[in-house]
Structures are given as structure tokens and as C-alpha cells.
Amino acid sequence: MRLLVGLGNPGAAYANNRHNVGFMALDAIAKRYGFSAWRKRFQGVIAEGLVEGEKALAFKPAAYINLSGQCVGEAVRFFKIAPEDVIVIYDEIELTPGKVRVKRGGGSAGHNGIKSIDAHVGVDYWRVRLGIGRPAGAGDVSNHVLQNFTKADMDWLGPFLDAVAASVPLLVTGDDNKFMTKVAMLTAPPTPKNQKSTDGEVPSEPTESE
């Protein structure tokens, strides 16, 4: 059994914040795979379903993000889930919007939600970082993550969340590299068909630079 955790702050005032992209991704996953209705448990809300035939629990802590480890720790202990079967999905300012990176273990890189989970669960769980980008110029990072996604963000955010949900079976079955590759493929701009360069040659497809 896998425990999928989305990070964010509870309440309608925060629902569309960049910091809440983990909640948004979990909602997309639960909807795509027909998870049960959300119910209150472990100081949060939980839903369950099957992904690639494997039971999965989706969990959104109801505590503020810097205290989310308390809630996750409760769920982990109750279900006796090993840290390596926990997958935490959260925002990452150091990644370009619409990019995803996955690794098992590691540091928090200053993310307060991850610091809290490290303290209550240990560090040997999977981290799925969803890129939201840094503020322009010398903008304040704290203010940036607590602001809502803009209308312009919707152009990449919706397809990105759909791609993460569509690719999550690869994550659940342990193939993190294929997961990242599939998300990148699903969100890549389409190559114009039959487009020719000035010398009459069809240009090659662009490669992923990051």
C-alpha cells in the first residue's frame, strides 16, 4: 500500500496558492482514479483507491504546512506504512513552472512542510517536487508561494496536474525515472507538423534542456 501525501495550507483562503500545488495534484489523482470521498482522519482528510491494482491512500494534512508532519506521522503509524512507501508531493521554487523532479530521501531545501515530515517520519520517503518557479527579480519568496496562481499560470498548471495524475502509476510501481519522462512528454509543446525551415529541411524535434 502506498500513502500519497499532498502538502498545502488548509482553508478556502489558501486553496489557490502556489504553496498548495501538492493539494491540487492529489485532487487530480483522486479524481482520475475514482478514489473514495474524502473523509476526516488523522488531523486531515483521506481518500482511498486503486492505482495499477495497488491500494493507495491519498492524504491532505489539515494542519498548516509547517506542522504537517504531525498528521502524516499519525497516518504512517496507524497503517504501519514504511517510509519508502510514502510519496510526498509539494511545491518547489527552484524548478521552472511545470517541471517535476523525484528522489527518495535527501534534505528539505528549506521547505517547512518537508522539515516537519522529516522530524516525524524520517527522511527515507519519496519526494515529488512540482516546479512553481521563483518570484521575478528580488521578490519575496514567502509572499510568492502564498499568492494565488495567476490566470497566465493556468495555461501550464492544468495540463501539468493532468500529466502528473496520468503518470502516477509509474510512481506507485517504483519507476520514478519513467514517471518524470512521461510528465515531460505529456507537457511538451507540440511540434508543428510539416513545418519546413528556409532551406527546405524539416527541423528536428527540440530536446529537453533541463
pLDDT tens digits, one per residue of 129-150: 999 998 876 667 888 899 999 9
CB 7 within 8 A of CB 91: yes
Q: With left for phi above 0 and alpha for psi between -120 and 50, is residue 94 left, alpha or beta?
A: alpha
Q: What is the structure's pLDDT at 135?
A: 81
Q: What is the structure's pLDDT at 194?
A: 62
Q: In this model, does residue 205 exceed pLDDT 60?
A: no
CB 116 within 8 A of CB 10: no
Q: In this model, does residue 52 exceed pLDDT 90?
A: no
Q: What is the structure's pLDDT at 193?
A: 67
Q: What is the structure's pLDDT at 189?
A: 77
Q: DSSP for 56-81, please give it.
A: EEEEEE-S-GGGHHHHHHHHHHHHT-
Q: What is the structure's pLDDT at 196?
A: 52
CB 160 within 8 A of CB 96: no
**Quick one: which of 89, 80, 59, 72 has its CA closest to 1?**
80
Q: In this model, does residue 199 exceed pLDDT 60?
A: no
Task: For 2-187, give the CATH class.
Answer: alpha beta
Mean pLDDT, rounded, for 38-48: 96
Mean pLDDT, rounded, for 89-101: 94
Q: Which residues are catalytic?
A: 19
Q: In this model, does residue 171 exceed pLDDT 80?
A: yes
